[in-house]
Each structure stands twice: as C-alpha cells, then as structure tokens.
Structure 1
Amino acid sequence: MYASPLSSPSTVSMASDAQNNPFIRNLASSDKKVRDEAFDSLRAYLGSQSHIAELDLLKLWKGLFYCLWMQDKPALQQRLSRELASLVSTLREPVVLPFLRAFWLTIAREWIHIEALRLDKYLYLIRQYVNASFQFLSRNKWKRETLKEWNKIVEEVPLESKDMKIPNGLRYHVLDVWADELEKVGGVEFEKDQEKAKEIVEIMVQPVETLAKEGRLKVLRVAAKECLADQRLRAWRGQEDEVVDEPEEEDEEAEWGGIDD
C-alpha cells in the first residue's frame, strides 16, 4: 500500500538535499553537455538493472522530482520532462511497472508542496508519463496481464477513488490527458483493428469506470464520466449510442476535498 511512501519530510529540506547532490544538480544543469552526461550515466545504470528495490526507486524519484523543481527555464523544463519520460524506454521490462509506481507515489506525496508557479512543469511531466506508460503497453503488444498490472498502479495512486490523501488535482489532470495520450500512442492502431481496440480499451478504462462509480466525491465521479464520454474512447469501445446522464445520489460524505489541491 501507499500510506507510508506518501509521508514526506519538509519541502525545504528535500530541495536543499537536491541542490547539494551533484548528480541531481547536473541533471538540472542548463549546460547541455553536463546534463547529457548525467543522463547518460542514469540511463546506463537503470538499463542495466533487472530489479530495483522499491525504497531505492522512491529515493531516486525524490531526487528526480527536485531535479525538475530546480529547473526554472520553461524550454529546459519541458526538455527535462521529456528526458525523464524517455527513461521508461531504457528500462528492462521487470523494472518498468515498479519504476512507474514510484513515479506516481512521488507525485502524489509531493503534490501539496508544488506552488502555483511550479505547477505547469509538473502537469507537463505527468502528461509525458501517461504517454510513456501507454508507449510501454503498446511495445508489449497490449498484453492483457500487463494491462491489468498497470491498472493496479493507476487504481492505487493517480485514479484511486476514495482516499483523500491522493490529491484531487492529480486525478483531474490524469483524466484530462488520458484520451489525448492514448490516441497519440494507439489511435492509428485502434482505427485499423476495431475488435482489438475494443478489447484493449475496455481493460484500460476500468480504473476510470471505478472512479466514475465509486469516487468519494461527486466532482470526481463527474470528471471520470466526462472522460468516459470522450468520443474517441466511445468509438474505440464500439459505443455508438448517445450518452445519457445518470442522476447522482446525494453524497454521504462531504464534497469538499480539503486544500491539498
């Protein structure tokens, strides 16, 4: 479970640790040569591992999170986010899902510390990681068991339906980019083989379906239903009938999700 990894030291101390770490500082460098050398070292290390312990992955992602934190130039922020997402393609298959899980746990844990001025670069990073995840699933031929394992991670963290320790803002953004990034990765393939598309997408939307039905807050259920109503998802699923809004029952729990988002 994710309860323990979501506890976090102060942002100030962690940012200070990152600034004092020469490797993390080099990854965030504005000097392309310095940054490229640091990334080459990181890729070489990650690509050589067939197993990395959860704690080590969480420590790594803490550093990578603050690597992006330290980068202030917009163009370099986006480049760094793309480079961080490219790490997924260098990993050996047994490491990919644990690496992605550590990413989501880190984003969920640190979300409350992200100030408004820094939010856009993390939203862009999240979009890149949704895309990188779909790329991994595509490279693995959308295998049913891999899709189910990916769903477990999604249901545990970014689209978890009831635990308010998971920031609502994270949930909303993942729902917002879901169909866009899936179309970029699988859209052409899905258009060519509608039967295959239906089988794949029916599995992939299960975490969204769960959130739409079981989300603790009405606003979360509505956001999930809006995602499911996207015409691209509906077409891939073979749903040609019009979307009918279902009446919402009154929430037993308060709708306000706190100030974490």
Structure 2
Amino acid sequence: MTMSPANDQFYIPFGKELAANEKKNRDKAVRSLKRYLTAGGGSLSEADLYKLWKGLFYCFWMSDKPLVQQALANDLGALILDVPEDNVIPFISTFWAVHCAEWHGLDRIRLDKYLLLFRRVIFYSFSWLAENHWEHKKVEAYTACLLDGPLHPTDRTKPDAIVYHIMEVYFEELEKVMEIQQESASDENDDDLSAPMNLLMEPIVTLSTDALNKTTRIKAKQILREYEEFGDEEVEDMTDRDIEAMDEGEESA
C-alpha cells in the first residue's frame, strides 16, 4: 500500500488525522479514506487494517453530539461497501477485534453510541451480502468471521455486552436489509433475493449450543424463538422455563 498525502483522493489516513481534535480535520480524514477505498486503493495488510480501525475508533470516540454520532456511525458502517472485495471480510473482522479490545476502556456515557455503531456495521455487512446476491461462500465467510471473533463461543475475553448486543440486533438488521432488497429489486430474479437463512443463523445457533456462558446459551435460544420465522418451528412454542430446562439438561448430559 502506498500513501500520498499530497493527493487527497488516494491517501489513506491513520491515527493522528482520524483522531484529530478538530471535527473538520476528522471529517476530512474520513472523506480521504472513503475516496481511497472507492477508487479501489491498494490491498490493505492486517497491520494496515488494525491501524485504520484503531484510528477510526478514536475518531468516533471524539464525536460527542448525537446527530454527529449518528451520521458518523452510518458513514463508518457504509465503508464496508467501499472496501475492495478481497478486503471486506478482513475489514469487518478487524473492526470487531479492535472494538472488543477497546470495550472495557470505554466510560459509561460512550457505550450507547458504540452500540449504535455496531448496529450500523451489522446492517452494512448484511447489505454487502445482499449486493452479492447472498453468495453462499461470502455468507459462510461472514458468519465464520463472527464466530472466530466477537461471537466466539468459548473465548471468555470477548465482552458479554458486545455478544448480547450483536445477538439482539442481528435478525432486526437482517430483516431491514431483506425488506430493502425486496422493495428495490422488483425486476430482478427472485432467486437472487433468497437469503440462505440456515447459513445466516449459524452464529446464533452455535452460541445456543456451544457457548461456555450459560446466560449466552439461554439468550441465543430465546432469540431463535423470537425470530421463529427464520428458524425451527419447534422453537416457537417454547417458554423461557423450557429453554432454561433444556440448557440445564445439556449441562448434565
């Protein structure tokens, strides 16, 4: 990857610019990044991606006004659609790696705005899959990056708050993307609109059975029941007590 500060269109900014004190300088850095990605900038190494998301983490940290936070959360999530094809999954994976690592250092007043950012990243991740007609290979790569990252079922270092939030908004954001796709694709082949729900459900299903944290397993089962239209019809009639009893049975087996 090459950097050329003299040419804003092909310049990828890192830490100091993205976390500048002045909002106008941070905005300029984000615009430069978008131009770089949209122009099909060079492949980003793992180290580049980590430095980039670390800078963007602090760029978002510096945004204090609600409307600014909302706009920036959307802009950062939408970068997923600008990233060169080969870098999309690493881009998403690194986002989660950085934010899981930084989560416990956040003060309470900033937690909600990062949860908003997570929601937007999930939305645009699904949007990217929809733009690629839910290609199975890409869906599998995306769900694998979640299970290897923030939703790893046996990694206790992952913040529970992030795990629970992803589970809570996962199907909500998926529904939004599918509805938008249906509304805007009246002339397209219906087969291209068919999302592989069995693959997309895999992270939540895995957590419902394999998570070390009992609360996580129960919550995952509850979410699968709540969105029974996406899953097994047998889940529909289960009560919270049934779910907990089933989980206790698995533990004693």
Scaled by the length of structure 1, what TM-score is found?
A: 0.78
Structure 1 unaligned segments of length 5 or more: list them: 1-16, 253-261
Q: In structure 1, how many angstroms separate the alpha carbons of the residues matched to 2:82 and 2:192?
A: 31
Q: 1:115 to 1:207 in 2, by over 3 A?
A: same
Q: In structure 1, how many angstroms separate the alpha carbons of the residues matched to 2:176 and 2:143?
A: 19
Q: In structure 2, how many angstroms separate the alpha carbons of the residues matched to 1:221 and 1:23?
A: 38
Structure 2 unaligned segments of length 5 or more: list them: 1-13
Q: CA deviation at 1:23?
A: 4.2
SS in 2 for 1:249: helix
Q: CA deviation at 1:75?
A: 1.4
Cα pair 1:190 1:236 within 8 Å, conserved:
no
**2:110 aligned with 1:118, yes or no?**
yes
Instruction: Report matched runs for 1:28-177 at 5 Å.
Output: 29=23, 31=24, 34-47=25-38, 48-177=40-169
| Identical amino acids, percent of aligned pairs | 34
Match of 2:215 among 216, 219, 233: 219
Q: In structure 1, how many angstroms separate the alpha carbons of the residues matched to 2:169 and 2:152?
A: 16
Scaled by the length of structure 2, what TM-score is found?
A: 0.81
Q: CA deviation at 1:196?
A: 6.8
Match of 1:239 among 214, 233, 238: 233
SS in 1 for 2:20: helix
Q: 1:80 to 1:141 in 2, by over 3 A?
A: same
Q: CA deviation at 1:203?
A: 0.5
Match of 2:197 among 191, 195, 201: 201
Cα pair 1:142 1:200 within 8 Å, conserved:
yes
In the alignment, which residue of structure 1 is the partner of 2:8?
none
Cα pair 1:175 1:224 within 8 Å, conserved:
yes
Higher RCO, 1 vs 2 (CA within 8 Å, ≥6 residues apart) = 1
Q: CA deviation at 1:71?
A: 1.3
In the alignment, which residue of structure 2 is the partner of 1:11?
none
Cα pair 1:50 1:94 within 8 Å, conserved:
no
SS in 2 for 1:229: helix
Aligned-residue Cα RMSD (Å) equals 2.7
Further displaced range: 38-47 or 139-148 = 38-47
Match of 1:178 among 153, 170, 180: 170
Any idea what the Cα deviations from partners look like across 1:154-194, whole Å, max 9, x if unmatched? 10112111111111110000011011100100136579969
Q: What amino acid does structure 2 have at the position aligned with 1:99?
A: F
Cα pair 2:17 2:26 within 8 Å, conserved:
no
In the alignment, which residue of structure 1 is the partner of 2:6?
none
Q: CA deviation at 1:143?
A: 0.5
Number of residue pairs matched? 227
Q: CA deviation at 1:49?
A: 2.6
In the alignment, which residue of structure 2 is the partner of 1:249?
248
